[in-house]
Amino acid sequence: MKPALPPLTPALAPEVLERLPAVTADSRTVTPGGVFVALPGAHHNGSAFIPQALAAGARLVVADPASVEAFKATHPDAPLHSCPDPARWLALMAEELARRHQGPAPDCVVAVTGTNGKTSTADFLRQLWKREGLTAASIGTLGLVSDVALPAPPALTTPDAVSMASALHDLAQAGVNHVVVEASSHGLAQRRLDGVPLKGAGFTNLTRDHLDYHGTMADYGTAKMRLFDTLLPPGAVAAAVTALEGAWLERLRATAQSRGLHWRLVGERSKGGERPWLEVLEAMPEPGGQRVQLAWQGKALPPFLFPVPGRFQLDNALLALALCAPAGTGEGTVKRLVGHLEHLKGVPGRCECCAMLPQGAGASPAALYVDYAHTPDALEKVLDSLRPHVAPGGRLWVVLGAGGDRDRGKRPLMGAAAVRGADGVIITDDNPRHEDPAAIRQAVLEGALAERAAQHQSKLIHEVAGRAQALQQAVAGLGPGDVLLVAGKGHEKGQIIGDEVHPFDDRALTAALAHAQALQSNAPPANPTGEQP
Ligand SMILES: CC(=O)N[C@H]1[C@@H](OP(=O)(O)OP(=O)(O)OC[C@H]2O[C@@H](n3ccc(=O)[nH]c3=O)[C@H](O)[C@@H]2O)O[C@H](CO)[C@@H](O)[C@@H]1O[C@H](C)C(=O)N[C@@H](C)C(=O)N[C@H](CCC(=O)O)C(=O)O
Ligand SMILES: Nc1ncnc2c1ncn2[C@@H]1O[C@H](COP(=O)(O)OP(=O)(O)OP(=O)(O)O)[C@@H](O)[C@H]1O
Ligand SMILES: N[C@H](CCC[C@H](N)C(=O)O)C(=O)O
Ligand SMILES: [Mg+2]
C-alpha cells in the first residue's frame, strides 16, 4: 500500500484542482490557468513577481500571509491564497498534479540524507535493487541514474519540488518502481521533498558543512531531521549508520520510536552502544577492496570480499542494504542481500582508483585515486581509508582545494584534515565560482600550516594555482608505493569559474597524466617540490 500524503492546507475545491494545468514557483514559467507559489529565496522574495505571474495568466497565487496582506492592499480582487508554509504547499500540489496528469508514483521511494555518503548510498541501493531483479533509479548529485532513458532533472542534489514530482512520476510510467533520492539539507529546508510519498529514509552522518546556509550545526541537523520527524510516514523504515554519533543518533532513535518508524542501525558497534541490526565485525583493507565480516541481529555471517575501497563505503553499502530490506525482513532475505555486496561496483568519483603508475622493475607502483571529499570529515575518512594502500616506504599525497560561494569556515578545517591524514599536501583550486581563488587557497593553507605547526611536523605543504598544474606536479612527483588522492571534484566534468563551467575532469586528467608519465621514461621520479619530507 502506498503511504498516504499529508493533506493540502489550505485545500482547493476538487473542481478547481481538476482544471489546474500546472504549479510553479517561478513567474517566468507560469502557464495560463496555472498556480504561482511565491517563495522566499536567497536573492529575491517570490512575492515581488506576483504581478508578472498574474500577467502570464496565473489563475491562483499562493503566498505567505504577510505577502498576501501586502498585495491585497493594492489589488483587492487578485486571486490570492494565504498559506503559512508555501514551499510545502508547492511540494504537495506538485505531487497531486503529477499524479493527476502523469499517473501513479513509484511503488517505493526512499531518501538518503547526511553530510557525506548520500550519493554513494543511493548508488549502492540502486545496484542492490537491480540485483534483486527490480527496475530501479537514483536521483541526486550524479543526476538521474537509471536503465531507462528519461530527461534529467535540474543539476541539484535534490531537485526542486516540481521537477522532483515530475521525474518520479515519469519513472513510474516508464516502469521504474524503486527510486532512491538524495535529500540535501537545502532540499529538506526548502521542502523540495515534502510531497514525495516515502517508504524509508537513511541518515549517514552529520559533520561540518553548509554553515553558510544553515548558520549553526543545530539548524543544519534540524533540517536533516525533518526527513524523519515530518516526512516519513509511520511504518516506514528509518535507518542510520553508527557514525552518526551522540545526541543526533539519540534524537533520531527517539523520533523513530515516537513516530512508529521501523528502526535499523548499521555499522561498527560503538563502545557501550546499541547493537546494530547489521554490524561490522571486521573490515580489512585489501588491494581489491576489503575483507568483511558482518553480524545480523548478533549472528555472525560468513566473511566475504567487498570489492570497493574505502571503509566508509562499507557503511554506505550497509545503509543501502537496510533501506533495501522491507520492514519485517527475515534471515533468508538478509543473507541474500548480504550476498549481493560482493558484486557491488564502486561509485564514480568516490575513492575511485584511476591509474596505477609503474615505478620500474621490482618497485611497487604508485596508485592514483579521485574522490569527492569536500568536507573536513570526508578528507579525514578517505585519507584514513587510503593509508593502508601505501606500500612500505611510500607516501600519501593529497591535492585539494575548496569550493567558492560555499561555507568559508570549513576551508581551514579541510587544510588541517589534509595535513593530519597525508604526508604531503598540495593546495589548489576547486570550483572558485564567484570568489577569488587565491583567497580560497589562502584559507585552506592557513589551516594546513597551523595544523603542521601544532604537530611540530615538517610535512610538505604547497600551494599551486590552477588545478591542472597542481595535478601535473603531483603526478610527476610520485614515487614507488606512493598513493595520490585527488580530492574535491570526484565525478564532476567541469570547473565553475564565475558563471561559466569550463571542461575539467579529475578522473580523465589524472589517468592521462599517469599514462603520459608511464610512457615518458625510466628516469627516477622527481619530487613535486624538490624538497625532502
Ligand atoms: C541557496 C539555494 O538553495 N538556492 C536555490 C533557490 O534559489 P534562490 O533562493 O536564489 O532563489 P531566488 O533567486 O532568490 O528567487 C526566489 C524565488 O523567486 C522566484 N523568481 C525569481 C525570479 C523571477 O523572475 N521570478 C520568480 O518567480 C524563484 O523561482 C524563487 O522561487 O531556489 C532555486 C530554484 O529552486 C534553486 O535553483 C537555488 O539553488 C541554487 C542554484 C544552489 O546553488 N543551490 C545549492 C546551494 C543547493 O541547493 N545545494 C544542495 C546540495 C547541498 C549538499 O551538497 O548537501 C542541492 O540539493 O543541490
Ligand atoms: N559514510 C561516510 N562517512 C564519511 N565520509 C564519507 C562517507 N561516504 C562518503 N564520504 C566522503 O564524502 C565524499 C562524498 O561522498 P558522496 O558523494 O557519497 O556524498 P554526498 O553526501 O552525496 O555528497 P554531496 O552532499 O556533495 O552530494 C566521498 O567522496 C568521501 O570522501
Ligand atoms: N554538493 C556540494 C558539492 C561540492 C563540490 C565541490 N567540488 C565544491 O565545489 O565545493 C556543494 O554544492 O556544496
Ligand atoms: Mg551527493
Q: Which domains does the chain have, with CATH numbers?
A: 14-94 (3.40.1390.10), 103-342 (3.40.1190.10), 352-520 (3.90.190.20)
Do 455 and 396 meet the contact criterion of CB atoms below 8 Å apart?
A: no
Give the ligand 2 atom nearest the CA of 115.
Answer: 21
pLDDT in tens, 47-57: 999 999 999 99
* 431 ligand 3 Cβ < 6 A: yes
Do 116 and 377 meet the contact criterion of CB atoms below 8 Å apart?
A: yes
pLDDT in tens, 328-342: 889 999 999 999 999
Taking the C-alpha atoms of residue 359 and residue 313, their distance in angstroms, rounded to an integer, is 29
pLDDT in tens, 226-266: 999 999 999 999 999 999 988 999 999 999 999 999 999 99
Contacts of 219 (CB under 8 A, 6+ apart): none
Taking the C-alpha atoms of residue 300 and residue 12, their distance in angstroms, rounded to an integer, is 55
Tell whether residue 158 is among the known ligand binding residues.
yes
Mean pLDDT value across residues 367-380: 98
Residue type for 441, please?
R
- Please state the length of the chain: 533
Which residue, by CA, sits nearest to atom 23 of ligand 2? 116
The pLDDT of residue 530: 36
Task: Find the range with the poorest average confidence among 263-277, 367-381, 460-474.
Answer: 263-277
The pLDDT of residue 66: 96
Grid cell digits, residue 217: 550545526
Among all ligands shown, which has an atom nearest to the Cα of 30?
1
Half-sphere exposure of 176 (CA within 13 A, CB side): 22
Tell whether residue 190 is among the known ligand binding residues.
yes
* Residue at grid coordinates 511565491: 38
The pLDDT of residue 17: 79
Residue 37: which of 153, 160, 152 has the closest Cα?
A: 160
Mean pLDDT value across residues 364-391: 97
Q: Where are the alpha helices (DSSP H) in 407-436?
A: 410-421
Do 239 and 323 meet the contact criterion of CB atoms below 8 Å apart?
A: yes
Mean pLDDT value across residues 48-69: 96
Distance between Cα 405 and ligand 1 center (Å): 13
Best probe residue, ligand 2, of 115, 116, 375, 398 (max atoms within 8 Å of C-beta): 116
Confidence of residue 118 (pLDDT cuts 50, 70, 90): very high
* Residue at grid coordinates 621490482: 362
Distance between Cα 108 and ligand 1 center (Å): 27
pLDDT in tens, 413-465: 999 999 999 999 999 999 999 999 999 999 999 999 999 999 998 999 999 99
Do 502 and 474 meet the contact criterion of CB atoms below 8 Å apart?
A: no
Q: In terms of pTM, does the model score above 0.80?
A: yes
* 155 ligand 1 Cβ < 6 A: no
